[in-house]
A = this chain, B = another copy of it.
Amino acid sequence: MCGIVGIFGHPEASTLAYLGLYALQHRGQESTGIVTATGETFHRQAGMGLVADVFSRDVLDRLPGECAIGHVRYSTSGDSSAINVQPFLLQHHRGPISIAHNGNLVNAAEVRTELESEGSIFQTTSDTETILHLAAKAPQADVVDALVDSLRRLRGAYSLVTMVAGRLIAARDPLGFRPLSIGRVDGAWVLASETCVFDLLGAEYVRDLERGEVVVIDVAGLHSLKPFAAERPAPCFFEHVYFSRPDSMLFGESVQGVRKTLGERLFAEHPADVDVVVPVPDSGIYAAMGYARAADLPFEMGLVRNHYVGRTFIEPTQQIRNFGVRIKLNPVKAILRDKRIALIDDSIVRGTTSKKIVQLCRDAGAKEVHVRISCPPTIGPCHYGIDTPLAEELIAARQNVESIRDFVQADSVGYLSFEGMIAAAGVQQGEICGACWTDEQPVSLPYDRAQQLGLFEKARR
């Protein structure tokens, strides 16, 4: 779960990168950083926290140069520390190189072990660093060739931006798990994980990077390479369901539009005899709008989210929790009292949060609570960059829908079917990655999956 941005050819590159990261904040709230280049001198500012916490006018002023890359990150549990904050900036014999990466490399652990036994010294516990060490040892004279050579040895998901003196390089893996788009503004090039960045910057959307494409931007313009063998497409559908911003265009479709269609299909598959349709904010809002429209029922904000909840929130003590503090969601009694409600959300993970929300609605007076989920049951972890828990923690990996209904104490539970889901975006099975719902993995995983998920935890300093 990360967002990346790249700027080439603008006198205020760091400010544009900052604004871009700001628009991508939903893709990672744990840490952020920007690296800029003035000739061969690179400048880096990065830290734990939100974009607005890490950057100030003073900090941006320490980032001169017309070329910049940036990163926001939400780490998977275990390797969350300052040393892993991206973009990374290293020196190798070809000069300074900086990288920002979205995705997850499935064979990074085994490649790292091999490199370390040959004397390479790693600075982080992140899979991303493996790319740089491979490139440092690659025999090619030019850094782009060395980078392509490195990526050939790696499997998994990567949308990345790399900066060397005078050039900005972007790459998307051959299966195209994660998005990466190209835009232009004020004569400059902009690369970004999502198109909402272009809207914020007032930039023009040019096109998406293709699967397996490597793009090199220099003063002569944009050069496209296709150095990898063709593979099946596997764009992550969960980006549509939950992860991307509703105002982005993703893989050619409006995220907001797809979500409303998911809601409409959800009603068609699982209607409910209720008085009112209530979303779990913010993620369930658009599916709920679609559901309400299809059902011709009132759409009501029966749960209000507290938008000031941030990373620094102090959890109340157990004693206070016991009398029922509601930190993130506040039920609106005036709406819920004596009503039968359809409660629309995008997923049930462990089931514990859903259970609390159902209870919250009942305490506020709801007579019936019918849970409707705008995608199929989540049965497996994601190996390509989304922070889904391991299978043993996923309620749907162990229990059927009726057991889940019983656990969350709802009057009924309905999940959208896989076919219904992908139809909402007009795609076929085999054209997307839906491994978290089907366990059908688009790339071969290492024998020991757990090792791959744990990543380099053993190597942590």
- Which A residues are within 8 Å of any B CB, using their own CB? 11-12, 15-16, 18-19, 22-23, 25, 42, 44, 50-53, 55-57, 60, 89-93, 96, 113, 116-123, 132-133, 136-138, 185-186, 196, 199-203, 245-247, 249, 254, 256-257, 282, 285-286, 289, 293, 298-301, 304, 306-310, 312-314, 316-317, 319-320, 323-327, 330-332, 334-335, 459, 461
Q: Which among B11, B202, B298, B312 is the interface contact of A56 at CB below 8 angstroms?
A: B312
Closest to A298 in B: B293
A90 cross-chain contacts in B, Cβ below 8 A: 121, 123
Q: Which among B15, B285, B335 is the interface contact of A301 at CB below 8 angstroms?
A: B285
Closest to A122 in B: B91
Tell me if A246 and B461 are in contact (CB < 8 A).
no
The distance from the CB of A34 to the nearest CB of chain B, in whole angstroms, is 12
- Complex Cα distance, B200 from A118, in Å, reads 44
> Known contacts being A121-B92, A304-B246, is A57 close to B323, with CB within 8 Å?
no
Tell me if A314 and B60 are in contact (CB < 8 A).
yes
> Known contacts being A332-B247, A335-B256, is A202 close to B323, with CB within 8 Å?
yes
Tell me if B256 and A15 are in contact (CB < 8 A).
no
Tell me if B121 and A202 are in contact (CB < 8 A).
no
Q: Known pairs A52-B313, A200-B330, A286-B301; list 18 more (Cβ under 8 Å).
A: A12-B317, A12-B320, A19-B325, A23-B330, A44-B461, A89-B461, A90-B123, A93-B113, A119-B133, A119-B138, A120-B136, A121-B136, A200-B326, A200-B327, A201-B320, A202-B324, A254-B332, A289-B299
- Complex Cα distance, B299 from A286, in Å, reads 11
Tell me if A42 and B330 are in contact (CB < 8 A).
no
Q: Which among B324, B334, B461 is the interface contact of A42 at CB below 8 angstroms?
A: B461
Supply 21 A–B pairs (Cβ within 8 Å), ascending by A. A15-B314, A18-B314, A19-B320, A22-B306, A22-B308, A22-B327, A42-B461, A44-B461, A52-B312, A91-B122, A93-B119, A96-B461, A119-B120, A121-B132, A123-B123, A186-B323, A196-B330, A200-B326, A247-B304, A247-B331, A307-B307
A57 cross-chain contacts in B, Cβ below 8 A: 314
A304 cross-chain contacts in B, Cβ below 8 A: 245-247
The distance from the CB of A292 to the nearest CB of chain B, in whole angstroms, is 9
Tell me if A326 and B246 are in contact (CB < 8 A).
no
The distance from the CB of A398 to the nearest CB of chain B, in whole angstroms, is 31
> Known contacts being A118-B137, A256-B301, A330-B199, is A185 close to B308, with CB within 8 Å?
no
- Complex Cα distance, B125 from A90, in Å, reads 12
- Complex Cα distance, B73 from A461, in Å, reads 23
Closest to A123 in B: B123
A319 cross-chain contacts in B, Cβ below 8 A: 11-12
The distance from the CB of A60 to the nearest CB of chain B, in whole angstroms, is 6
- Complex Cα distance, B119 from A90, in Å, reads 12
A331 cross-chain contacts in B, Cβ below 8 A: 199, 247
The distance from the CB of A111 to the nearest CB of chain B, in whole angstroms, is 13
A286 cross-chain contacts in B, Cβ below 8 A: 301
> Known contacts being A123-B123, A325-B19, is A314 close to B56, with CB within 8 Å?
yes
The distance from the CB of A452 to the nearest CB of chain B, in whole angstroms, is 19
Q: Which among B133, B186, B245 is the interface contact of A121 at CB below 8 angstroms?
A: B133
A23 cross-chain contacts in B, Cβ below 8 A: 306, 330
A56 cross-chain contacts in B, Cβ below 8 A: 312, 314
- Complex Cα distance, B293 from A319, in Å, reads 43
The distance from the CB of A85 to the nearest CB of chain B, in whole angstroms, is 14
The distance from the CB of A157 to the nearest CB of chain B, in whole angstroms, is 24
A314 cross-chain contacts in B, Cβ below 8 A: 15, 18, 55-57, 60
A91 cross-chain contacts in B, Cβ below 8 A: 116, 121-122, 459, 461
A256 cross-chain contacts in B, Cβ below 8 A: 301, 332, 334-335
Closest to A22 in B: B308
- Complex Cα distance, B320 from A16, in Å, reads 8
A310 cross-chain contacts in B, Cβ below 8 A: 50, 52
- Residue among A121, A309, A313, A323 with most chain B CB within 10 A: A121
Closest to A139 in B: B119
Closest to A40 in B: B458
